Amino acid sequence: MRDIYTLGIESSCDETSVAIVKNGREILSNIIDTQIPIHEKYGGVVPEIASRNHIEAISRVTKKALEEANISFEQIDAITPTYGPGLVGALLVGLSYAKALSFAINKPLVGVNHIQGHIAANYITYKELEPPFLCMMMSGGNTQIIQVKDYTEFEVLGKTRDDAIGEAFDKVARVVGLGYPGGPKVDKLAQEGEPIINLPKTHFENMDFSFSGIKTAVINLHHKNPEINKANLCASFEKTVTEILLENVNRAIKQTGIKTIALAGGVSANSYIRKAFLTLQQDDKEKKIKIYMPDLKLCTDNAAMIASAGYYNYIQGKRDELHLNAIPNLKL
């Protein structure tokens, strides 16, 4: 069987990324042009500025990805861009470039769901990982427990009803004065504190999540007592949201009988969450729970994960027309 090369394009938020991946699992190049320094002074991503910077970077990043992979356009089998979910203007830049490229070099266009891309990051890190498994998807825009039935077949078992977990991290960071990006800064400060502050948890009969209550509790505590120990507050927030994740994952294990768990999304880079999930594996008396976590560099937005997901869509026969549009609220 001949090798398949996919060219992934990711521009859903504030990273312009292009990657070449071989057979869905081997990264030949993964170029990421980040806009974090640009948006830092605004305390968050400004959509119009993000779109403008994607336009400036996309051609340069594509050229660099091809050079690093030492591959030509003729060798590419499919162009696989993210088409949702994400910021609509940002998505349109990468998707429009992909459609133009597909037309110019006469290669198939295969749109990729950004969430599917995050799941696929695990296939690059773990060559042996195959469905079925459960995925704890956690990012700035999504918090979901997903049953991965096959490479392109998914069932959402539980999702957030309000804030995504990454959004809650960012808001807590802003309240305590840490700035943007919030997740890594909360993680770092929490390591200096103790989780001694009781914070509320929201429970549902199903496996859905809610993080607005705990976010509001942190905001109120800080407003009522500006001198509160911020490290302890961050550590307590981190511990409580991790317990919420683990409780629902345990329910998913019980419901499905599946004991293979993969983490995905930017928040899966959080050191406390990673340790807690590994503890779940270590504490399992029957030694059947297996935890998979993407390499840290593959947790945040990147085109390698998109090219990997694109590969599995491509070999399943998925093809998209050039009128494919960006869908900012695309569901899995």
Enter the pTM of the model: 0.94
In this prediction, residue 35 carries a pLDDT of 83
Helical packing angle, 271-282 and 230-256, nearest 10°:
40
d(CA 51, CA 88): 9
d(CA 2, CA 23): 9
d(CA 315, CA 296): 27
Q: Between the ranges 41-50, 61-70, 136-145, 194-203, where is the mean pLDDT highest?
A: 61-70
Q: What is the mean pLDDT of the chain?
A: 94
Tens of pLDDT along 143-161?
A: 999 999 999 999 999 999 9
List all residues 6 or more positions away from 133 whose beta carbon is below 8 Å from its beta carbon: 148, 258, 260, 261, 262, 292
Task: Tell whether the model's pLDDT for residue 54 goes beyond 90.
Answer: yes
Q: Mean pLDDT, to the nearest integer, of 93-102?
A: 98
Tens of pLDDT along 196-243?
A: 999 999 989 899 999 999 999 999 999 999 889 999 999 999 999 999
d(CA 294, CA 262): 8
Burial of 281 from C-beta contacts in 10 A (0-12 / 13-18 / 19+): middle
Q: Mean pLDDT, to the nearest integer, of 36-56?
A: 85
Tens of pLDDT along 251-294?
A: 999 999 999 999 999 999 999 999 999 998 887 777 789 999 99
Q: Which residue type is seen at 227?
A: E
Q: Look at the block and give the residue holding tokens 């295969």.
A: 110
Task: Tell whether the model's pLDDT for residue 179 goes beyond 90.
Answer: no
- Higher-confidence position of 77 and 183: 77
d(CA 128, CA 32): 26
